[in-house]
Structure formats: structure tokens, C-alpha cells
Amino acid sequence: MIDFPNAKINLGLYITSKRPDGFHNIETIFVPVPTLCDILEIIPSPNSGKPLIFSQTGLTVKGDVDSNLCVNAHRILSSHTSLPKVSMHLHKQIPMGAGLGGGSADGAFALRMLNELADNPLPSSDLSQLALELGSDCPFFLVNKPCFATGRGEILNRVNLPISNMFIMLVNPNIHVDTGLAFRKSTPQLAATSLAGIAEIPLERWKNTISNDFEKGDCAHHKQVKSIKDKLYDSGAVYCSMSGSGGTVFAIYRAEPPKGLFNEPYFLKTVKM
């Protein structure tokens, strides 16, 4: 079977408190980006000498194979149900450390796909709990619809967003951000805006109403992020923000955005919602 783990963006992100387990509570809106995807193939491999044979192409993923979230998904699920021997291949296209959730999507999609091959597939509620073991935003990718998220990001409620048929431009100036470090440097506080009611806020007011706490502080890439946002607003964007812990910036346009705003080595992608 083949599937296409997709990226996500965050409409607003507030770090509201530090948890006793070392994680942080957040409030955010997760939005899937359906046309920016990795490619994941899983096929039964009954004659293999190993439970899992994993391979990868595309963008280089740092770290050893055993730390890959797809491999971890197999390890976690196989401890709860019987899985056939499989070969898994990941073709990586979503930039890493970019605030786009590519690794989490890969792990969540692998978990769901492997569950479909299991002798006794787990119910969706159990699968969500295992996804949380992979990463805080992994449960979202099992839903993969716009959601208001709280807790670590695993408490999800569907939301309707007024962005259908609009264009989103993604811009990453070749910046890789360590999410764990970004959280450790954050200062939790109450959410500046209730994102649960985002559908009631006119899109033109988002610029002055919704923010991302990870844009605060004195990190070296924040000046670059601000420069990108200024350029996007000048080009007609209705709303711009950094996604997740960065450093990807996204911009929402009512019409197709202008071309040629940025050049290599920037990663650029424009999608229609």
C-alpha cells in the first residue's frame, strides 16, 4: 500500500503552561496541507529475515534509522498486536525542522497503515494513544482535518475555517529549528486569543488578533522570519505567521500569490485550499 503523509500549518500557537511530565500545554489550530506530502509505501515481505526492512530516499533525515518515527511506529504497534513482516520505504519531501510536522505525519501514517495490516487491528481510540507516544502532534494526523488542539496537541476538536479556495504560500529560508529547544526557551502564559472561536473572527482581523508564541524572543532566525512576513504582507497576503516552532512562514492569499518573491535556497510551495 502507498499513502502520502502531508504537512500541516498552525493557525496561532499559544504555550499556556508547563506540565509535570515535562511537556507543555498548548492551544493551536492544526490545518493539513494536502498537496505537500512525503510518500510512504508498506508491503508485506513474508520471506524477509526481519520483522521490518526500512529504506528511505529524498531529503536526508538526520539521526539513525532506529530513531525514525516510521520505525518507531512499527515498534510501538508490534508490541500491542501481531504484524506481518513488512518492507517500508519513505520518500522524504517535506523539509525537516520546519514547523510543518512532516516527521509526525510519517509516523502517524505508518501507524495507521500498519494497523490495517495487523491480524487484529486496534480501534481508533487505542491508535490515537499510541500516536501520542510517537509525538505530541501525531494524533492530529490520524484525524487530518482542521482542528482546535489543546493539551499537548492531542485533544482535538474539528473546526470550520473560512479559507476554502484560498491560496497558501509556504516559505522556509533553509532554517532548521529544534522544537524541544524552542519549547525549553519559551515562557508559558495564558492564550492571547481564544482560538476555539477562530471561525467567528473575520480573516482581515487575524493579523492583529492571532499570534504564535514561538515568534517571541531573540532567536537568530526571528529577524529573518519578520522580514519574510513583511514581504508577504506587502505582496497582498491577508494573514502571515510562522508555523509551529518554525522556521517556515506561511501566508494566506485570496488570489494566487505573485511569483518571484523569493529565490533559492528558500523552500517555496504554494497550495490552493
Catalytic residues: 8, 137
Distances (CA, A) of 122 to 70, 78, 82, 115: 17, 11, 10, 7
Distances (CA, A) of 65 to 4, 54, 62, 168: 20, 8, 9, 33
Cβ atoms of 56 and 68 within 8 Å: the answer is: yes
Residues in a beta bridge with 167: 253, 272
Residue 32's φ and ψ, nearest 5 degrees, are -70, 145
CA distance 76 to 133: 8
Q: What angle do CA 151, 154, 156 make, to 5 degrees?
A: 95
CA distance 8 to 223: 23
Q: Hey, is 199 helix, strand or coil?
A: helix
